Amino acid sequence: MSKVFVLGTNKQPLNPIHPGRARMLLSQGKAAIFRQYPFTLILKKEVLTPKIDPLRVKIDPGAKSTGLAIVNDSTGEVVWVAELQHRGFQIRDALTSRRQLRGSRRNRKTRYRKPRFLNRTRPKGWLPPSLNSRVANILTWVRRLSDLCQVTAISQELVRFDTQQIEDSEISGVGYQQGTLAGYEIREFLLEKWKRTCAYCGAKNSKLEIEHIKPRSKGGSNRVSNLCLACVPCNQKKGNQDIEDFLKGKPDLLKRILAQTKRPLADAAAVNATRWNLYENLKKTGLPVEVSTGGRTKYNRTIRCLDKTHYWDAACVGASTPEQLITSGVKPLLIAAKGHGTRQQCRTDKFGFPSRYCSRTKFHKGFQTGDIVKAVVTSGKKIGTYVGRVATRATGSFNISAKEGLVQGISHKYCKHIHKKDGYSYAQ
């Protein structure tokens, strides 16, 4: 089972404990709930502090989602895992919309102004807001986890080191292709590029093979731009035909595949642009930072027979991964970055014109938008129990984004705080 974080009376981090022991401490009145997400207890009385195990935070950064894991290197136990969903692309779209609206308004309302973009410089290490938010989300959770348990090291999936040359100083040429990680880097890249589906028939959840778009027998190369993924039947059916002959009766599919071969990976570009910035910021924590490659991560996960998920990828990052990972019963915490609201003074329609007023008051009836609440409705048409993020109104009639969907018109009288707003939503 996923462990429960425990703090001492002075908020010093102690060893995470089994959920059964956490329930016993709560029922006996020896501890209280410190925070709901991630679930943390705080002791009410001083206890003899046992030996605190050092733990490692492991990070698998991604453009849309990042995997987080806490692993005990000495025992191989996976203490806690989570999947953090970013909002970088939402920020990018919001900034694009704002730029368009401002440009349109300036053209309508103001005189001509000389462009100023040439006389502005950016500080060293600057990142666009959409990319910076990804780094900030990860750093926020590294700091939070460091406050809740004894973190002594960090592992990050980052760059490729020449580990084969470290083992064999005289290795060269074709020898690099025969190593332990042979094929892992290219295959992982292709899986991301082709969305883990067959390029020809779109088959999912089937065995996929690396396919040469232009056959090697007809002068095709091993460049990534000439590679795609195909299921076994499609690969055998195509054989050494040119793709134009193989897809002669499917011109739309042919056009899409050829376009996909030249299309850059937006997600990979986002990760590449932020990885060094994240690494430099992680070093500022003062903890030793281990870095590793995606190929090493996949190799570790494959030989341990774990599913392909962001949080298991995180648990397998780096050469420090224990030979035996204890993963039984571990459930991930699903975290989604939601931001801290907006400063818009009014809402607009799709054309950018004001449509309704936006209240500047944050708190209504003791709640604010983004709080996680539990509403037990005992009367009316919406009898039931709802748990989720709340959107407040001055009238006291709230909306709750529950697991079942959006529930509207819930009175504040039925709502009870579970977790105060912190810019994230949570699910198990």
Global pTM value: 0.78
Name residues whose C-beta falls within 8 Å of residue 339's C-beta, 6 or more positions apart in sequence: 87, 423
pLDDT of residue 295: 82
Name residues whose C-beta falls within 8 Å of residue 194's C-beta, 6 or more positions apart in sequence: 228, 229, 260
Spell out the domain ranges in the chain.
5-43, 53-81+124-165+181-330, 359-422
Tokens encoding 295? 């190929």
pLDDT of residue 372: 94
pLDDT of residue 262: 74
Alpha-carbon distance 398 to 368, whole Å? 10
pLDDT of residue 180: 52
pLDDT of residue 62: 87
pLDDT (tens, 9 = 90+) of the chain, 428 residues, equals: 689 999 999 999 999 999 999 999 999 999 999 999 999 999 998 877 678 889 999 999 988 899 999 999 999 999 999 999 999 989 999 899 888 888 888 888 888 877 777 777 888 888 999 999 999 999 999 999 999 999 999 999 985 444 444 344 444 554 545 555 555 667 777 887 888 899 999 888 888 888 898 888 888 888 778 888 999 999 999 988 988 888 888 889 888 888 888 776 677 778 888 888 999 999 999 999 999 888 889 899 999 999 989 999 999 999 999 999 999 889 999 999 999 888 888 888 877 788 888 888 889 999 999 999 999 999 888 899 999 999 998 999 999 998 888 999 999 999 999 999 999 999 88
Full 3-state SS string of the chain: CCCEEEECCCCCECCCECHHHHHHHHHCCCEEEEECCCCEEEECCCCCCCCCCCEEEEEECCCCEEEEEEEECCCCEEEEEEEEECCHHHHHHHHHHHHHHHHHHHHHHCCCCCCCHHHCCCCCCCCCHHHHHHHHHHHHHHHHHHHHCCEEEEEEECCCCCHHHHHCCCCCHHHHHHCCCCCHHHHHHHHHHCCCCCCCCCCCCCCEEEEECCCHHHCCCCCHHHEEEEEHHHHHHHCCCCHHHHCCCCHHHHHHHHHHHHCCCHHHHHHHHHHHHHHHHHHCCCCCEEEECHHHHHHHHHHCCCCCCHHHHHHCCCCCCCCCCECCCCCCEEEEECCCCCCCCEEECCCCCEEEECCCCCEECCEECCCEEEEEECCCCCCEEEEEEEECCCCCEEEEEECCEEEEEEEHHHEEEEECCCCEEEEC
pLDDT of residue 51: 84
For the domain made up of 359-422, give the CATH fold.
SH3 type barrels. (2.30.30)
Please report, for residues 66, 135, 158, 273, 408, the alpha-carbon distance to residue 130 in angstroms, rounded to integers and kept in the order given. Answer: 15, 10, 20, 11, 31
pLDDT of residue 102: 84
How many C-beta atoms lie closer than 10 Å to residue 92's C-beta?
A: 17
pLDDT of residue 272: 80
pLDDT of residue 162: 42
Alpha-carbon distance 288 to 293, whole Å? 17
pLDDT of residue 119: 73
Beta bridge partners of 212: 227
pLDDT of residue 133: 94
Any alpha helices (H) in 66-112, and if so which ranges? 88-109
